[in-house]
C-alpha cells in the first residue's frame, strides 16, 4: 500500500497538482470501503477500494477538481453537494456570512433575505442556519444550478425556510432587509488566465460578466435599492482590483458604502452597502420646510404688527406691538416703522373706519379711528403731509363722496343712534364729503 501512495504522489506532483498530499488523502478516504478518513502514514490496504481509487485518481490527474470528483465541498459550517453545473464554494465567499453576522448580531430576529445568483445555495443555507427565524429567497437564472441548490436545501432540511426562484432580481417586487450576492465578475481577459481546471470544469456563466466584469455591479447600482427596505444592507463579493470601479459605479446611488473587507490574502473582497433613509430625510426636509413657512407667516404678521381676533361676531384687528411714545422718547426716535409704512397704516385704518361707518357699526368705526389717530399723530411728528399722502396713495385711496351718500343705510343708522354725537363729530366725515383734518388734529 505504501508503494501505491508513493507512486500516486509522484504522478500528482508531476502534473503540478497543488496540495498533492491533501488531494491524495481525500481521494483515498472517498475510495474507502467503510467511508472513514484515511491518513497517509497509517493505511490499511483492506480499507480501500483499489479500482475506485484508480478511477478517481485518473480524473484528478486530468485536472478535474477534487470537489467535482467526490461531489462535495465544505463551506462555513456545512458540506454541500456540487457538480459541473455550479461553482465550488470558495473560502473568501465566507466573508459575506461573516459580515452579515457583524451587522445583524441578534440571530433570533426575523429578516427577509435575498441571495442573488445562489448557485449551490451555500450562502443561503449558511445564513438560514445562523438566522433560524428569518425567511430567505434564493434566485438564479440557471435551472441546473437551482436543482443543485434544491438538493442541498433538502439535505439540510431547510425547504420550509428557503424559497427558490428562477428569475433575475429585476423581476422581484418585494423588499428585503438583507441582500447578498456573489455575482460573476471576471472579464474575458481574466477568464483566459484562470486555471485550466476552472475553465474546464466550472460553468463560465457563473464566472464571466460583460463590460470588463462590471456589468452586474452596474445593474445593482441602478436597481437594487428598489427592493431594499430602509436601513437594509447589501453585501457582495468583488474581484481583484475592482474596488475603485465599484465605488465609482455606486457613487450616484442612494446606497452608502459602509465597509470594505479584505480576504486572507489582503485583497479587497466584499463590500457592504447600506440604504440611506431617503424617505426619513425627505420627511425631515418637508417638516423643515413647513417650519420655515410657519416662521415666515409669523414674521409676516409681526411685520404688520397685527393679529386677528373675533369680537361679538365681528372680525377686528388687535395691535400686537404698538409703539410707546414714552419708551421711545418721541415718535421721531422710533425705529420700528419708516415713513412709508406709517402713511400706509394711516390710510388703511382710514379706509377700514369708513367701511365700518357705512355699514352702520359706529363702535367698530371708533375702534379703527383710534388707530388712525395714532398714525396721524406719528405722521405729524415725522413731518408727513396728510393731504399729499392721501392724494398719491392709489391703493388705500379714500372712498368717494358719491359712494358714501349712495348708501341709504347710513342715514337710517345715524338717525337710530340715541347718543348726542352728530355726524360732524365723526372725524373723517364733514361738509362736502371731505376729510375734516381739524377734528383729527384736535
Q: What local confidence, expressed as pLDDT, does residue 283 receive?
A: 58
Q: What local confidence, expressed as pLDDT, does residue 135 receive?
A: 96
> Helices 143-155 and 122-130: crossing angle, nearest 10°?
30
Q: Residue 413 above 60 pLDDT? A: no
* Interval 139-157: pLDDT, tens: 999 999 999 999 999 999 9
Question: Rounded to two decimals, what is the model's pTM?
Answer: 0.63
Q: What local confidence, expressed as pLDDT, does residue 242 receive?
A: 95
Residue 365 pLDDT level (bands cut at 50, 70, 90): confident
- Residues of the chain with pLDDT > 90, as a percent, come to 49
Largest CA distance in the chain: 139
Are 51 and 60 in contact by the 8 Å Cβ rule? The answer is: no
Q: Which are the contacts of 347, defined by CB distance < 8 A and separation ≥ 6?
A: 389, 390, 393, 395, 396, 397, 398
Residue 261 pLDDT level (bands cut at 50, 70, 90): very high
**What topology is assigned to 72-276 in CATH?**
Rossmann fold (3.40.50)
* Interval 206-258: pLDDT, tens: 999 999 999 999 999 999 999 999 899 999 999 999 999 999 999 988 899 99
Task: Give domain limits for the chain.
Answer: 1-62, 72-276, 329-441
Q: What local confidence, expressed as pLDDT, does residue 199 receive?
A: 92
Are 119 and 149 in contact by the 8 Å Cβ rule? The answer is: yes
* Interval 3-52: pLDDT, tens: 788 888 999 999 888 889 989 989 988 988 876 666 666 677 778 888 99
Q: Which of 288, 260, 304, 254 is nearest to 274 (CA)?
A: 254
Q: Residue 395 above 50 pLDDT? A: no
Q: Which are the contacts of 379, defined by CB distance < 8 A and separation ≥ 6?
A: 342, 343, 346, 386, 389
Cα–Cα distance, 259 to 235 (Å, whole number): 9
The pair phi, psi for residue 205, each rounded to 5°, is: -60, -25
For residues 88-113, average pLDDT: 95
For residues 10 and 414, the model is more confident at: 10
Q: What local confidence, expressed as pLDDT, does residue 327 receive?
A: 43
Amino acid at each position: 500500500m505504501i508503494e501505491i501512495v508513493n507512486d500516486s504522489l509522484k504522478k500528482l506532483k508531476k502534473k503540478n497538482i497543488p496540495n498533492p498530499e491533501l488531494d491524495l488523502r481525500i481521494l483515498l478516504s472517498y475510495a474507502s470501503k467503510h467511508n472513514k478518513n484515511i491518513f497517509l502514514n497509517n493505511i490499511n490496504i483492506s480499507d480501500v477500494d483499489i479500482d475506485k481509487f484508480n478511477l478517481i485518481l485518473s480524473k484528478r490527474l486530468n485536472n478535474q477538481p477534487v470537489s467535482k470528483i467526490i461531489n462535495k465541498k465544505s463551506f462555513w459550517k456545512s458540506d454541500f453537494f456540487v457538480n459541473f453545473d455550479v461553482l465550488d464554494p470558495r473560502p473568501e465567499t465566507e466573508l459575506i456570512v461573516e459580515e452579515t453576522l457583524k451587522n445583524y448580531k441578534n440571530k433570533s430576529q426575523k429578516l427577509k433575505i435575498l441571495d442573488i445568483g445562489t448557485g449551490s445555495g451555500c450562502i443561503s443555507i449558511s445564513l438560514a442556519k445562523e438566522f433560524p427565524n428569518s425567511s430567505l429567497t434564493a434566485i438564479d437564472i440557471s435551472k441546473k444550478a437551482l436543482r443543485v441548490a434544491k438538493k442541498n436545501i433538502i439535505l439540510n432540511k431547510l425547504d420550509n425556510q428557503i424559497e427558490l426562484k428562477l428569475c433575475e432580481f429585476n423581476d422581484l417586487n418585494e423588499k428585503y432587509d438583507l441582500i447578498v450576492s456573489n455575482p460573476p465578475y471576471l472579464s474575458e481577459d481574466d477568464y483566459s488566465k484562470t486555471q485550466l481546471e476552472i475553465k474546464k470544469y466550472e460553468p463560465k456563466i457563473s464566472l464571466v460578466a460583460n463590460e470588463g466584469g462590471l456589468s452586474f455591479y452596474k445593474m445593482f447600482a441602478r436597481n437594487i435599492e428598489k427592493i431594499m427596505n430602509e436601513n437594509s444592507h447589501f453585501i457582495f463579493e468583488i474581484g481583484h482590483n475592482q474596488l475603485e470601479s465599484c465605488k465609482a459605479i455606486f457613487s450616484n446611488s442612494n446606497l452608502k458604502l459602509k465597509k470594505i473587507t479584505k480576504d486572507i490574502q489582503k485583497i479587497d473582497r466584499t463590500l457592504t452597502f447600506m440604504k440611506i433613509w431617503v424617505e426619513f430625510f425627505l420627511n425631515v426636509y418637508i417638516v423643515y420646510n413647513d417650519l420655515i413657512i410657519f416662521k415666515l407667516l409669523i414674521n409676516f404678521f409681526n411685520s404688520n404688527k397685527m393679529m386677528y381676533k373675533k369680537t361679538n361676531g365681528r372680525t377686528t384687528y388687535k395691535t400686537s406691538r404698538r409703539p410707546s411714545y414714552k419708551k421711545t422718547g418721541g415718535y421721531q426716535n422710533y425705529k420700528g416703522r419708516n415713513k412709508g409704512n406709517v402713511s400706509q397704516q394711516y390710510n388703511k385704518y382710514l379706509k377700514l373706519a369708513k367701511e365700518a361707518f357705512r355699514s352702520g357699526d359706529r363702535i367698530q368705526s371708533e375702534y379703527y379711528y383710534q388707530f388712525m389717530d395714532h398714525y396721524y399723530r406719528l405722521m405729524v411728528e415725522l413731518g408727513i403731509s396728510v393731504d399729499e399722502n392721501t392724494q398719491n396713495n392709489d391703493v388705500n385711496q379714500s372712498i368717494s363722496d358719491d359712494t358714501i351718500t349712495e348708501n341709504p343705510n347710513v342715514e337710517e343708522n345715524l338717525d337710530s343712534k340715541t347718543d348726542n354725537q352728530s355726524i360732524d363729530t365723526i372725524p373723517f366725515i364733514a361738509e362736502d364729503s371731505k376729510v375734516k383734518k381739524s377734528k383729527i388734529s384736535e
